[in-house]
Amino acid sequence: MREPIARENLAVLRRLALSRLKNDDTKLGLQNKRLKAGWDEQYLAKLLFTPPDPPSKRKASKSSNISND
């Protein structure tokens, strides 16, 4: 952690892990997803080894700020 390259690498891994948790479709909060990944090896394996859904397959939120005018 003292080397600048190591800090950058760890920061990339943290952002990757958080983005995988945010994009997961499990109906839990982010903190609970982190806890579940720590306790449940199957859930952790799902997060790590299952490819993420492409953006076109994900459900869009119903309340969008973009108007269709």
Domain holding 34, by residue range, is 4-49
DSSP 38: H
Q: Report how many domains make up the chain.
A: 1
Using one digit for the tens of pLDDT, what is the confidence trace for 26-58?
899 999 999 999 999 999 999 989 887 776 666
pTM: 0.65
CA distance 22 to 63: 18
Q: Is 37 exposed, middle or buried, given 0-12, 13-18 or 19+ CB atoms closer than 10 A?
A: buried
Reported as a pLDDT band with limits 50, 70 and 90, residue 67 is low
Whether residue 57 is contained in a domain is answered as no
